[in-house]
């Protein structure tokens, strides 16, 4: 569904980490940019977020989510519920083919314009975007068969995704929260 984005989040024992690639693709054949930033720190650096969808939509949704975080005094759980309601009610924004990942040290959520607020069953690993399945598969294998720290696991998983998905590159950016 979402081409040109790979975002991976890992809520580990010591750190919460989100990473994303930098490729922006137009249609199926033109790479417009290789160093885009698709992840952000929000609410005084206490919340990590990543976005799959168009750039203009990302700015609108990040701004809306940050406003709600401020209103809810940084409570991520309350913020995702309110954000989902607002996103769903907005006639323009609800039609976006977009998704967001948001996390802190306690929670990890996938959000969409259809009103979805999903906290993964394992509560640890989530990915979105066209390379998301490659990244999460790599992350699960690396987690099971290595003792990599959270940041290295995310970086290596995104690197593997970049070698498999034509819409993902190896210009990887990472943000981390620690206890």
Residues recognised as catalytic: 5
- DSSP letter at 156? H
Residues for the chain: how many in total? 179
| 166 CB-side CA count, 13 A | 6
- Supply the DSSP string of 119-155, one letter for each residue: --SSSSEEEEETTHHHHHHHHHHHHHH----HHHHHH
- Supply the DSSP string of 69-92, one letter for each residue: HHHTTT-HHHHHHHHHHHHHH-TT
Distance CA 77, CA 105 (A): 12
Distance CA 49, CA 108 (A): 10
Which residue, among 176, 145, 138, 175, has the nearest Cα to 159 in the 3D structure? 138
């Amino acid at each position: 569904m979402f081409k040109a984005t790979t975002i991976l989040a890992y809520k580990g024992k010591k750190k919460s980490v989100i990473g994303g690639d930098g490729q922006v693709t137009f249609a199926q054949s033109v790479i417009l940019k290789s160093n885009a930033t698709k992840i952000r720190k929000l609410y005084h650096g206490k919340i990590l977020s990543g976005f799959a969808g168009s750039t203009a939509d990302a700015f609108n949704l990040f701004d809306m989510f940050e406003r709600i975080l401020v209103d809810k005094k940084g409570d991520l759980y309350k913020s995702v519920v309110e954000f989902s309601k607002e996103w769903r009610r907005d006639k323009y924004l609800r039609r976006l083919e977009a998704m967001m990942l948001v996390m802190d040290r306690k929670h990890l959520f996938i959000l969409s314009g259809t009103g979805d607020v999903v906290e993964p069953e394992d509560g640890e690993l989530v990915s979105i975007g066209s390379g998301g399945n490659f990244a999460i598969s790599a992350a699960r294998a690396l987690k099971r068969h290595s003792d990599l720290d959270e940041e290295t696991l995310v970086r290596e998983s995104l690197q593997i995704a970049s070698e498999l998905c034509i819409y993902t590159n190896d210009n990887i950016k990472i943000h981390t929260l620690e206890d």
